[in-house]
Amino acid sequence: MNLETIVGIAQIVATITVVGGTVFGLIQLAEFRKQRRDAVAGELMRAFMNPEFAQAITVVLEELPERASADDVRRADPRVERAAVLINTTFETMGLLVFERIAFVAYQVRVGSHNDILAMPARAGAMHYRQRRRS
């Protein structure tokens, strides 16, 4: 074996090492992004689905008639109006996050389906933001 053959083999080994390292790095980067997305999803769901939000939904469902107007909400007990505002702002924030393609990932990770009752207001909020951006 002469020196040229050894140099050629070393170059082949170096090229394989670089290509393998690049492939490994890309795989690790994809895995890191998935883990980060899952962590953000969990935090978003914890932030939105808290006992205060659950209580607000219970208050609104028990105290307001179906298809209640804004005037009905204002005439109701102040705690009902606060509950309605909390629900509204929560779903509006969810809609913005869905529009920005943050919360839909969170929703899929935690719930596993986008046909749940919480998906409808979030998608409606996302459509609202999409329409506002166009105008």
pLDDT, mean of residues 89-112: 65
Place of tokens 């769901």: 45
The answer, yes or no, to whether residue 113 has pLDDT greater than 50, is no
The answer, yes or no, to whether residue 98 has pLDDT greater than 80, is no
| Amino acid at position 59, single letter | V
How many angstroms separate the first and last alpha carbons of the chain? 73
Query: Shortest CA distance to 104 belongs to which of 37, 51, 29?
Result: 37
Ordered by start, the domain boundaries in the chain are: 3-134
| Amino acid at position 54, single letter | A
pLDDT interval class at 31 (50, 70, 90):
very high
Query: Does the model's pTM come out above 0.85?
Result: no
CA distance 98 to 89: 14
Q: What's the pLDDT tens digit per position in 32-50?
A: 988 887 777 777 777 777 8
Please name the residue ranges forming H helices in the chain: 3-48, 51-63, 70-75, 78-99, 103-111, 119-134
3-class SS of residue 117: coil
